Structure 1
Amino acid sequence: MRILAAGDEFVGTGLLTSAVRAELGTGPGQDGDPDFAELSLPWPIEPFGPVGGVQEASGTEEQVIEAVAGAELAVTQMAPFTGKVFAAAPDLRMVSVSRGGPVNVDLKAATAAGVAVTYAPGRNAAAAAEFAVGMILAAMRRISTSSAELLEGTWRGDYYTYANAGVELEGSTVGLVGYGAIGSRVARVLVAFGAKVLVSDPFADPAKITADGAEPVELDDLLRRSAAVSLHARLTEQTRHLIDAGRLALMPEGAVLVNTARGGLLDYAPLPGLLRSGRLGALALDVYDVEPPSADWALRDAPNVIATPHLAGASRQTAERAARIVAAEVGRYVRGEDLANVANPEVLDRFRR
């Protein structure tokens, strides 16, 4: 069996091949060991982008077409699997993507070609949840901004004045917008800190939210009541600019806003003015409407901004977990078992090895 392992600088090709071999119980030169074709892609050293109609991909269609020749399976994180690639890969039966969603795969073309596409939900949930909590703490207690000021030579003794002092998590109300694998973990950590946690998610089970020690509420109510708001929703056409100027105006004066989910959830245009006026107390961002932000990005000189380069899911454990998840799908395929996380289940009616 020929398998394309198309890795990158995070979920590396070697990580993918090792995980597949561990799943299948094989090794180099052993009977049953797959014939691996390998492709190494430049992400994240080079940013991802749209390729051939798919989003957030790394590398070119031509690279994938050359590498996937004769392959029955492919495991990847960022390689573009487009209509052009599927047309050139008649032997391909499954693409397993080590991400929370297969945005680098043309699902319509895959389905038309009879190729099952799987993905890796929850691969970065622990890393992203930890990062979000860290951002909330950094913003509420001025950890990042005061550190930057000190390293630039400014000792901000006034941060110890009552008017400028930070706010503890214990006893504060924190609102979470979205309650999937990441948001639910964040809630449990915040409850352990002693925070009052509000949750807005129309698709979440209110009983589960309550069982985790949080309170389910409507979004506008959450915004009005929260000293800090952290975004964890999926980006869809319905959630794009979910937090717009009108909803930002609902937040209490001096509240903290954190976005480690998707840039499109937030309307960035009002933020510089809200920060300069003090209406918004602090802003912590790991995702942006344009990545990377431009040189003239309006938030570069706004006060009380923490900005990181889309790092929330960047842990070694995330990469290892992602490789294991896609390798497990390879194992299911080889053993003739049902696939676990299929993005185009309609193909399974005619899916054959």
Structure 2
Amino acid sequence: MTVLRFMTWNVQNLFDAGTPFGPPTQVDFDAKLAGLAGVINTYAPDVLALQEVGSDTALAALQAQTPQLKYRMLGIPDPRGIRVALLSRRALNSRHDLAAFPAGVLPTQTGDDPPGPAGPPTVSQVGRPGLQATIRYGNRDIVVIACHLKSKLLSYPGGRFSPLDEDERARFAGYALNRRTGEAVALRVFLNTLLDGDGTRLPVVLAGDLNDEVTAATSQILLGPPGSEIGTTGFSQADSGDGNRMWNLAPLLPDGEHVSRRYRGRDELIDHILVSHHLVTRVDEVHSVPATAPLPSMTDDPEPPNPAIPSDHAAITATFNLAA
């Protein structure tokens, strides 16, 4: 086999039936699983990176409907209980959880500064830790990393999804952006150590819900040394940065597929696959694959799971020809 198929998908609250964030009944849960599995089995990925997985039992239920993906690995949950995960046809080895902010990055403020000496609430690690593993393909290891950065959807004190006023909206949007930035920095610093200038030889895939568009500053942090993006004149010209770069495959999406989510009626591409130089030279095709068409339009208030809509995100897929 010389073809490697990769998929990343935010599967929107994959929690067990009857739990606070899951479908209300087992019938609804089964319908959600069937919708997800239909897309996964049609594309038949070798490796699948997932976001918004609520439990190992829910992941195992999805795995049971995608039997070609024999191996699974579940990440560390955030306070709401969602996490990233990996499903794979091949054994997943060398697990590593990417959580702590790197040296030099101060704790990030996440809420208002209350009266008194305690100071504002802060975090010093990735909210939903990234999950890294390796698969053996041919005669080499391929490193895969699943990630899910801080959401653009804002929440306010007391569990509100609407601000008291526009000043509060501005503050909490800033807190969320700063947090997402810290998470992107943490992932990029990890990539620096992993690649260590050897990305032309080392195959690395980082995939997930970045909660930002291709050109957003947070997304750009993950690329590493600037220049040589797909579609630019520098892409086909080798230079000293190639060994440390990651390339976002979004420019290779066909016309009409530059969307993975809809927000208030506007198409967004916030789910991404990034690869090292070794793989960017071996891409055959990239696609955005929704479970339902059109994608539902979301608002700032997360809606309960709808079994008729398995996920509010489209899956992003990439095929690589490793014989090239």
Whether these two folds match at TM > 0.5 is no
Larger relative helix fraction: 1
Kindly indicate which of the two structures has a greater share of residues assigned to strand.
Answer: 2
TM-score w.r.t. the length of structure 1 is 0.26
- TM-score (norm: length of structure 2): 0.28
Rg bigger for which structure? 1
